[in-house]
Amino acid sequence: MLESYVPIFVMIAGGVIFGVVMVKLNEWFGPHRPNDEKLSTYESGMEPIRSARERFSVKFYMVAMLFILFDIEVVFLYPWAVSFKQLGLGGFVTMAVFIFVLFLGYFYVWRKGALEWD
Partner 1 sequence: MGITFSDITSSAPLVSLVLFSFLTLIVESWGKDKPVLSYWVSLLGVGVSLALSFGHLGAGIPVFGGMLLQGGFAGYCNLIFLSSAFLTILLSRGYLERMECHRGEFYILILFSTVGMMLMAGALNLITVFLGIELMSVSLYVLAGFMRKKVRSNESALKYFLLGAFATGFLLYGIALIYGTSGTTDLVAISKLFPQLSHNPIFLVGCGLLVVAFSFKIAAVPFHMWAPDVYEGAPTTVSGFMSTGAKAAAFATFLLVFVRVFDIAGTSLSQVIAVIAAASMIVGNVTAVAQTNVKRMLAYSSIAHAGYMLSGIAAANVEGETGILFYLLAYTFVNVGAFGIVSIMERQDDKKLNFEDYEGLSARRPALAVLMTIFMFSLAGIPPFAGFFGKYYVFLAAVKANLTWLAILGVLTSLISVYYYLRLVVLMYFREGDADLDHSVPRRSMIALAIAAISIVVLGLYPSLIVDLTRSFFKI
> For residue 21, what is the DSSP state?
H
Q: Give the separation between CA 59 and CA 114, rounded to whole angstroms.
A: 8
Which of 21, 65, 101, 115 binds partner 1 (CB under 8 A)? It is 101
Q: Give the Cα-Cα-Cα angle 60, 63, 65 (nearest 5 degrees).
A: 105
Helix (H), strand (E) counts: the chain: 5, 0
Write out the binding residues for partner 1, residues 34-53 only, by CB under 8 A: none
Of 1 and 46, nearer to partner 1 (C-beta) is: 1
Of residues 22 and 104, the one with the C-beta less far from partner 1: 104
DSSP character for 47?
P
Q: Which of 90, 116, 117, 118 binds partner 1 (CB under 8 A)?
A: 90
Instruction: Tell me the site size for partner 1, rule CB under 8 A.
Output: 9
Please state, in angstroms and rounded to a whole number, the distance separating the CA atoms of residues 92 and 102. Answer: 15
Q: How far is the CB of 107 from partner 1 (least distance, A)?
A: 6
Distance CA 61, CA 21 (A): 39
Contact segment (CB under 8 A) with partner 1 among 20-28, 29-37, 70-78, 103-111 equals 103-111
Residues near partner 1, by CB under 8 A: 90, 94, 101, 104, 107-108, 110-112
